[in-house]
Amino acid sequence: MLHNKASCCNGDKNNNNAQENGDPSRRDFIVLSAGALGAVGAAATAWPFINSMNPSADVLALSSIEVDLSPIQPGQSIKVKWRGKPVFVRRRTKEEIAAARAVNVADLRDPQTDESRVKSGHDEWLIVIGVCTHLGCVPLVNQGDYGGWFCPCHGSQYDTSARIRKGPAPLNLAVPEYTFLTDTKIRIG
């Protein structure tokens, strides 16, 4: 049996229009499915590149350090390195704490109380980033008129709470984020 091309294609006109235009609900499903599959594929392709921007394991290891405080005697300071910067850890004497708290905060260039620069219950411990806020030099410990730190580059002097008292530095030495893990161990960062 031979099919007549004309008879095959000249069937029901409504059926032909439905085939030419397609079923709207089916077409929407196909378009949405293709779009969703494309989005998932793009995300799966982009993820390795985005993930490569995260810090590496060695950088994360440097983001925090633990410091053992037990060998530090009252009146002594040590310097540790954190994120490439020096950090001063000082165990202050009762006299140094009293002197820092006796200062009139209104007279300070960068007014901060001593209590706001130490952790409650651990008043003897002062932890500050050892970078002068003037030009980034490293101050010398137990120097200057106030018994704290002295920056020899331009003469900035800090007290025993690392607050700027004299010289061109505009701000106090910064206090990093730190927590006491025990009474004799801290984590900086």
Catalytic residues: 154
Structure tokens at 98: 């009293």
Contact 176, 189 (CB under 8 A): yes
Token representation of residue 189: 């960062």
SS3 assignment, position 96: helix
The gap between the terminal CA atoms of the chain, to the nearest Å, is 87
Site of tokens 């200057």: 144
Contact 167, 154 (CB under 8 A): yes
Q: Are strands 178-182 and 85-91 parallel, antiparallel or unpaired?
A: unpaired
Q: What gap in Å lies between CA 134 and CA 88, rounded to an integer?
A: 17
- How far is residue 7's CA from residue 25's CA, in Å, rounded to a whole number? 30
